[in-house]
Structure 1
């Protein structure tokens, strides 16, 4: 009790939320700033496990593969910093940077002191919408969110780089929604859809009679985004001639409509995205070096889904939230067994592939629950669609000569497979998930084969 009073008095010298945790993961004390920021009262959380109260886990964070300052501090570190998802008293997720400190009382007892610096809320009012929102709690995802928040606090142009389907438009929307321009327009332009002849008309606008069919003046996207953000998706696909025109308007903020003489100005922040290595394009001569330096002031990496598989439960729930529920039914959910199967998939199409997979599974399952069997069927279908068709199959190998008289019969394919699975079970000490990964099949398929071959 004396130690708790000592901590309480000391904690109130901190302006930021601060919490003290003991070696058994129990919250010992929190300051007033923590209570206000996270909508809780101290007596509600003191004595509860930090991983349950703060992170909604059933066991310590490091056992879920997340970074955890607790273990490192009690191993002897003086200070440790990491990114975390922290839930408040209303159940809303906050993305925070946690800085852990080693605290020692006069009696020599050791505690963890955590200072919390919020990066952003998972669902700020500015970005609530019917479509999918950014969700996640993996280290790779949280590192991206921290970079996005830093970018939002600046006026610099931003370049988001990542594979197709990683959510680069959502990331750009996040920057806009957390910037000082949040109340102004957010305009998107897919650079792959514009021909060189349409670029100026679409981006800068045109006057009436500028060309055949222009019966009225049109405001361009650059002008529409005045005061806000213009998102240029897949800028690496933009032809060189268009790049020169874009560079000029980015440098001067001045432009003319097609067919017009008036010089117009627009205050626009530009955020670009690409699934290419733009610097490689610069070296190949397909992207202007001066434009690269103009748009890549602040670069952000959007991680592929294979680097954040632990986010699949949250992503699946968020993606399914946007689908209409079955007629007269509840919202569709994914069973834990189905989630486990999804986490074994490599997802070359990233979050977009996950969304499409869930849409197909939801349409075919016929109920409000997607189970492992539905996921296995859809994944197999996707892999079949992705497999290349070989119009020139290799010639069949010549038949093996018949076995000599008295020679032992060769084992059947089933027996070869049974022996191989048995060998893998021994090698991985019965760990079925690792065996399934080594075989390149799902755990559900492995279970069926174990049963068929009488293996345990």
Structure 2
């Protein structure tokens, strides 16, 4: 078989893949690519063969491992392993696209080894709604999270998103919906913390005419409106205990009644919920039902805080400034401002970053935002006072000593339990039990 015949057979084989597929030699040169790969990068098949893979997919003159990324090429030719990673690739117009890459070991008839890369784009399509909001970043923590979201989107299981305030939980929920089989149906949102307890049941399940004072006509609830689609329960930890049983029933049976109604209705709804609370701690405290927790947390996903993906700050800031400027970045970050942001803890995460940049842009005079324009809060590490010594070491006094020490840590950390637990070297769940034993932290 001639070399040209082998090329034709190889191209025919990889063109059977629905996903982009490329074959690379040990010198990073592309030896074959299917039509999907060429189309996604805006190059003709005859123009891509012979080029280095990182030049085409990363728009970089250096291999991705030299830029700090996990590299399937290095894993195969350096360690003999075929790995799966998540990278940010670029289209011909420099539009970024997060992509899951699955490496394969390929061997030719003469025994030479090649890397086959099969690619699974994580966005629904370049430029989609999710892609143009705040799903911005290339850090390992962020890419791993996006990959996890893309995987769970393919399931019909209920999903519980956990993350600090401001990390983008609703955006993550929209990403899941857009990647799911329900993308063509509705995405309905309810903020459980913003609905009064007296109206909560009516919001979820609707009400009949005259069901209560002020109910002038029939109203469909959010479950009905989300039929066939996704219902996003934001701040799900705030649902009153008295109403949790009613939500549990509809999750178990798919049936509900409007307030004031007698007819049982059904709705086919996928539940995605979000919280910044540790719901198992709420269960321990008797404020949350364990059976409801398990219904909501079919799959749980933790979203990284901004301080865990500080490498994304330059790109995030540029993106947010562009949005604040109506698509054009009127102001740019000066080096001292970027350094100040990277040293900041961001307790309010991306939401806080956006607010800081919005205010700093108003103070920007020379086209650059400087550190002084940001007016960052001064973050002082809390001084932890030593626990006072008690005169006796009886069982009762040791209990008192623990109580006093816990209270001093709570005061020093402003009541932030996660930081107190970290200072003690214990889990938040263990800390909660200790606080409960001592009647603290209520």
TM-score relative to the length of structure 2: 0.76
Matching residue of 1:357: 356
Structure 1 residues 315 and 183, CA, compared in 2 at 3 Å: closer, same or farther? same
Q: Cα deviations across residues 334-389 of structure 1 (Å, max 9, x unaligned)?
A: 3472445433333222111111121112121146x333x2xx1244x2314x7799
Matching residue of 2:427: none
Secondary structure at the aligned position of 2:79 is classed as coil
Deviation of 1:8 after TM superposition, in Å, equals: 5.7
Secondary structure at the aligned position of 2:260 is classed as coil
Q: Of residues 85, 88, 92 in structure 2, which corresponds to 1:89?
A: 92
Structure 1 residues 303 and 108, CA, compared in 2 at 3 Å: closer, same or farther? same
- Alignment RMSD, CA only? 3.0
Alpha-carbon distance in 2 for matches of 1:24, 1:333 = 42
2:332 aligned with 1:334: yes
2:267 aligned with 1:272: no
Extract unaligned runs of 5+ from structure 2.
384-442
Deviation of 1:189 after TM superposition, in Å, equals: 0.8
- CA contact 2:162–2:274 (8 Å) conserved in 1: yes
Q: Cα deviations across residues 427-455 of structure 1 (Å, max 9, x unaligned)?
A: xxxxxxxxxxxxxxxxxxxxxxxxxxxxx
Deviation of 1:186 after TM superposition, in Å, equals: 1.1
Alpha-carbon distance in 2 for matches of 1:44, 1:339 = 39
Structure 1 residues 347 and 5, CA, compared in 2 at 3 Å: closer, same or farther? farther
Provide runs of 4+ in structure 1 moved above 6 Å: 2-5, 386-390
Q: Cα deviations across residues 276-306 of structure 1 (Å, max 9, x unaligned)?
A: 2222322332211111111111221211112
Alpha-carbon distance in 2 for matches of 1:52, 1:343 = 29
Secondary structure at the aligned position of 1:34 is classed as helix
2:13 aligned with 1:13: yes
Judge which range, 225-234 or 141-150, deviates more.
141-150
Matching residue of 2:389: none
Deviation of 1:102 after TM superposition, in Å, equals: 4.7
2:225 aligned with 1:224: yes
Deviation of 1:323 after TM superposition, in Å, equals: 1.7
- CA contact 2:208–2:260 (8 Å) conserved in 1: yes
- CA contact 1:93–1:122 (8 Å) conserved in 2: no
Secondary structure at the aligned position of 1:75 is classed as helix
Extract unaligned runs of 5+ from structure 1.
391-456
Alpha-carbon distance in 1 for matches of 2:33, 2:334 = 34
Matching residue of 1:438: none
- CA contact 2:30–2:53 (8 Å) conserved in 1: yes
Alpha-carbon distance in 1 for matches of 2:61, 2:41 = 20
Deviation of 1:196 after TM superposition, in Å, equals: 2.0
Matching residue of 1:448: none
- CA contact 1:11–1:18 (8 Å) conserved in 2: no
Matching residue of 1:177: 178
Alpha-carbon distance in 2 for matches of 1:89, 1:23 = 25
- CA contact 2:279–2:288 (8 Å) conserved in 1: yes
Secondary structure at the aligned position of 2:377 is classed as helix
Structure 1 residues 5 and 80, CA, compared in 2 at 3 Å: closer, same or farther? farther
Matching residue of 1:422: none
Alpha-carbon distance in 2 for matches of 1:354, 1:370 = 16
Alignment of 1:381-400 (within 5 A): 381-384=375-378
TM-score relative to the length of structure 1: 0.74
Matching residue of 1:452: none
Alpha-carbon distance in 1 for matches of 2:195, 2:165 = 19
Alpha-carbon distance in 2 for matches of 1:5, 1:164 = 58
Alpha-carbon distance in 2 for matches of 1:258, 1:100 = 55
Q: Cα deviations across residues 384-412 of structure 1 (Å, max 9, x unaligned)?
A: 4x77999xxxxxxxxxxxxxxxxxxxxxx
Q: Cα deviations across residues 75-115 of structure 1 (Å, max 9, x unaligned)?
A: 13231221112223344333222123455666676543322
Secondary structure at the aligned position of 1:232 is classed as strand
2:343 aligned with 1:344: yes
Secondary structure at the aligned position of 1:120 is classed as coil
Secondary structure at the aligned position of 1:343 is classed as helix
Deviation of 1:181 after TM superposition, in Å, equals: 1.9
Q: Of residues 356, 362, 372 in structure 2, which corresponds to 1:377?
A: 372
Alpha-carbon distance in 2 for matches of 1:207, 1:186 = 24
2:39 aligned with 1:40: no
Secondary structure at the aligned position of 2:92 is classed as coil
Structure 1 residues 48 and 275, CA, compared in 2 at 3 Å: closer, same or farther? same
- CA contact 2:123–2:131 (8 Å) conserved in 1: no
Structure 1 residues 340 and 59, CA, compared in 2 at 3 Å: closer, same or farther? farther
Higher alpha-carbon Rg? 1
Alpha-carbon distance in 2 for matches of 1:344, 1:108 = 51
